[in-house]
């Protein structure tokens, strides 16, 4: 290892608190404390500048509701040639394992189907803390024909309040869908009256 790299890593690790939350975002933290956020959809918000950033990741998201605050933290890596995916995945895996311990292999059924990944949770024997109940690190290969040689990684941290948050978001989506259906039905009745 180069001296400069080792020194940078040592300084970074000693500057981090012992129980730092993922990217400096705590469970239950209100959106208002995260600075500028962009509403993506369904309770998912892009965090423009999280308190702590990792050099591998470029996009940071949270899932949150007013009732629960933040219940999930997610980050997407920069895109890179897929031939480097295994090495970069291993590097990030080792960094997570140094903090949380043992993971287990998983295969996601979406994003696209079959993307392999790792999960840290009670079942794997991970030493989770700070309200985290599950961590997922996923490999993502592009399904776009033009960018077929590109890949990236996604990491997700799920907090103890995730199930409550998820229930609230599902109810909110059901309410929105019912309201849209009523608007569509009213419009159809009105349009039918034009005949």
Under the banding of pLDDT at 50, 70 and 90, the label for residue 145 is: low
- pTM to 2 decimal places: 0.78
Average of pLDDT values for 154-161?
A: 96
Under the banding of pLDDT at 50, 70 and 90, the label for residue 114 is: low
Nearest partner of 132 among 124, 141, 142, 140, judged by Cα: 124
Q: How far, in Å, CA of 72 to CA of 65, rounded?
A: 11
- Decide if pLDDT at 191 tops 80: no
pLDDT in tens, 23-81: 999 999 999 999 999 988 888 999 999 999 999 999 999 999 999 999 999 999 988 88
Q: Which of 59-63, 81-85, 112-116, 189-193 has the highest mean pLDDT?
A: 59-63
Measure the CA dihedral 129/9/140/58, to 10°.
90
Exposed, middle or buried: residue 143 (CB in 10 Å: 0-12, 13-18, 19+)?
exposed
pLDDT in tens, 159-189: 999 999 999 999 988 888 888 888 888 787 7
- Decide if pLDDT at 132 tops 90: yes
Q: How far, in Å, CA of 141 to CA of 84, rounded?
A: 11
pLDDT in tens, 1-16: 444 433 333 334 334 4
């Amino acid at each position: 290892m180069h001296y400069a790299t080792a020194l940078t890593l040592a300084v970074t690790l000693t500057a981090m608190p012992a129980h730092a939350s993922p990217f400096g975002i705590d469970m239950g933290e209100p959106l208002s404390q995260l600075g500028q956020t962009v509403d993506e959809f369904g309770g998912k918000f892009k965090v423009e500048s999280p308190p702590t950033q990792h050099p591998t990741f470029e996009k940071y998201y949270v899932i949150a509701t007013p009732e629960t605050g933040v219940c999930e933290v997610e980050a997407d890596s920069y895109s890179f040639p897929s031939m480097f995916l295994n090495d970069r995945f291993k590097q990030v895996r080792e960094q997570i394992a140094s903090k949380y311990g043992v993971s287990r292999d998983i295969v996601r059924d979406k994003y696209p189907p079959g993307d392999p990944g790792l999960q840290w949770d009670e079942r794997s024997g991970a030493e989770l803390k700070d309200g985290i109940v599950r961590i997922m690190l996923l490999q993502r290969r592009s399904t776009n024909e033009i960018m077929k040689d590109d890949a990236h990684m996604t990491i997700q941290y799920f907090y103890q309040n995730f199930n409550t948050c998820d229930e609230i978001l599902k109810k909110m989506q059901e309410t929105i869908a019912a309201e849209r259906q009523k608007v569509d039905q009213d419009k159809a009745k009105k349009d039918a009256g034009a005949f």
